[in-house]
Amino acid sequence: MADIEMKNIVKKYGDGFPAVNDVTLDVQDGEFMILVGPSGCGKSTLLRMIVGLEDITSGEMKIGGKVVNTIAPRQRNLSMVFQNYALYPHLTVFENIAFPLRLAKKPDDEVRRRVNETAELLELTEHLERKPANLSGGQRQRVAMGRAIVRQADAFLFDEPLSNLDAKLRGQMRAEISRLQRRLGVTTVYVTHDQTEAMTLGDRVAVLRKGVLQQVGSPRELYEEPSNLFVAGFIGSPSMNFLPATIEKAADGTHLDTPLGRFPMPEKGHAAASGDRSVVLVGVRPEHFEDATLVSDEKRARGAVVRAHVDVTEWLGNELYAYVPYEAPADLADKLRDLSRELDSDQMRTQAVVALDPASLITEGQQA
Ligand code: ATP
- The answer as to whether 365 is a domain residue is no
Lowest mean pLDDT among 8-22, 67-81, 95-109, 330-344: 330-344
Indicate the pairing of strand 204-209 with strand 187-192. unpaired
265 touches ligand 1 (CB under 6 Å): no
Residues 127 and 79 in one domain: yes
Residues 122 and 190 in one domain: yes
Lowest mean pLDDT among 78-92, 274-288, 304-318: 274-288
What span, in angstroms and rounded, lies between the C-alpha atoms of 4 and 29? 8
- The answer as to whether 366 is a domain residue is no
Residues 129 and 256 in one domain: no
**pLDDT for res 101:** 93
Closest ligand 1 atom, residue 211 Cα: 14
45 touches ligand 1 (CB under 6 Å): yes
Q: How many CB atoms lie within 10 A of CB 197?
A: 26
- The answer as to whether 361 is a domain residue is no
- The answer as to whether 219 is a domain residue is yes
**pLDDT for res 50:** 97
What span, in angstroms and rounded, lies between the C-alpha atoms of 46 and 10? 9
The percent of residues above 70 in pLDDT, for the chain, comes to: 92
Q: What is the CATH number of the domain that holds 21?
A: 3.40.50.300
40 touches ligand 1 (CB under 6 Å): yes
Q: Which of 2-6, 167-171, 198-202, 236-240 has the highest mean pLDDT?
A: 2-6
- The answer as to whether 367 is a domain residue is no
The percent of residues above 90 in pLDDT, for the chain, comes to: 46
Give the residue from 196, 213, 234 where a domain finishes: 234
Write out pLDDT tens, residues 301-335. Answer: 888 888 888 989 999 999 999 999 888 777 777 77
Residues 290 and 219 in one domain: no
Pocket test residue of 17, 20, 45, 234 for ligand 1, highest count of atoms within 8 A of CB? 45
Residues 162 and 256 in one domain: no
Indicate the pairing of strand 155-159 with strand 78-81. parallel
What span, in angstroms and rounded, lies between the C-alpha atoms of 85 and 133? 12
What span, in angstroms and rounded, lies between the C-alpha atoms of 83 and 144? 10
Cα–ligand 1 centroid distance for 20 (angstroms): 9
pTM of the model: 0.88
**pLDDT for res 249:** 81
Pocket test residue of 35, 43, 80 for ligand 1, highest count of atoms within 8 A of CB? 43
**pLDDT for res 235:** 92
Could you give the residue ranges of the DSSP H alpha helices within 256-329? 297-302
Contacts of residue 148, defined as CB under 8 A and 6 or more positions apart, other chains included, come to: 79, 80, 81, 156
- The answer as to whether 214 is a domain residue is yes
39 touches ligand 1 (CB under 6 Å): yes
What's the chain's average pLDDT?
87
Residues 48 and 172 in one domain: yes
Cα–ligand 1 centroid distance for 66 (angstroms): 27
23 touches ligand 1 (CB under 6 Å): no
Give the residue from 205, 234, 263 where a domain finishes: 234
Query: How does DSSP classify residue 115?
Result: H
Query: How does DSSP classify residue 309?
Result: B
pLDDT exceeds cutoff 90 at 99: yes
Range of the domain at 196: 4-234
pLDDT exceeds cutoff 90 at 94: yes
Residues 105 and 197 in one domain: yes
Residues 59 and 140 in one domain: yes
44 touches ligand 1 (CB under 6 Å): yes
Residues 223 and 269 in one domain: no
**pLDDT for res 270:** 56
Of residues 262, 210, 245, the one with CA closest to residue 331: 245
Could you give the residue ranges of the DSSP H alpha helices within the chain? 43-51, 93-103, 108-121, 137-149, 167-184, 195-201, 219-224, 229-234, 297-302, 330-342
Classify the complex by whether its ipTM is higher than 0.90, answering yes or no: yes
pLDDT exceeds cutoff 80 at 340: no
The distance from CA 108 to its chain's CA centroid, rounded to whole angstroms, is 41
Residues 145 and 12 in one domain: yes
Give the residue from 234, 263, 283 where a domain finishes: 234
HSE-CB for 148 with a 13 A CA cutoff: 29
What span, in angstroms and rounded, lies between the C-alpha atoms of 43 and 49? 10
Of residues 355, 345, 292, 300, the one with CA closest to residue 324: 355
SS3 category, 50: helix
Cα–ligand 1 centroid distance for 25 (angstroms): 19
Of residues 222, 285, 211, 226, the one with CA closest to residue 37: 211
Cα–ligand 1 centroid distance for 192 (angstroms): 13
What span, in angstroms and rounded, lies between the C-alpha atoms of 28 and 188? 9
Closest residue to atom 11 of ligand 1, CA basis: 42
- The answer as to whether 136 is a domain residue is yes
Q: Is there a cis peptide before residue 238, judged by omega within 30 degrees of 0?
A: yes
41 touches ligand 1 (CB under 6 Å): yes
Closest residue to atom 23 of ligand 1, CA basis: 45
Cα–ligand 1 centroid distance for 314 (angstroms): 35
115 touches ligand 1 (CB under 6 Å): no
Residues 257 and 215 in one domain: no
DSSP string, 84-109: T----TTS-HHHHHHHHHHHTT--HH
Lowest mean pLDDT among 177-186, 238-247, 327-336: 327-336
Residues 222 and 149 in one domain: yes
Tell which wins on pLDDT, 273 or 67: 67
pLDDT exceeds cutoff 90 at 175: no
Split into its structural domains, the chain has a count of 2
Cα–ligand 1 centroid distance for 293 (angstroms): 49
Tell which wins on pLDDT, 102 or 151: 102
19 touches ligand 1 (CB under 6 Å): yes
- The answer as to whether 271 is a domain residue is yes
What span, in angstroms and rounded, lies between the C-alpha atoms of 363 and 309? 10
Cα–ligand 1 centroid distance for 78 (angstroms): 22
**Residue 280's pLDDT band (cuts 50, 70, 90):** confident
Tell which wins on pLDDT, 258 or 62: 62
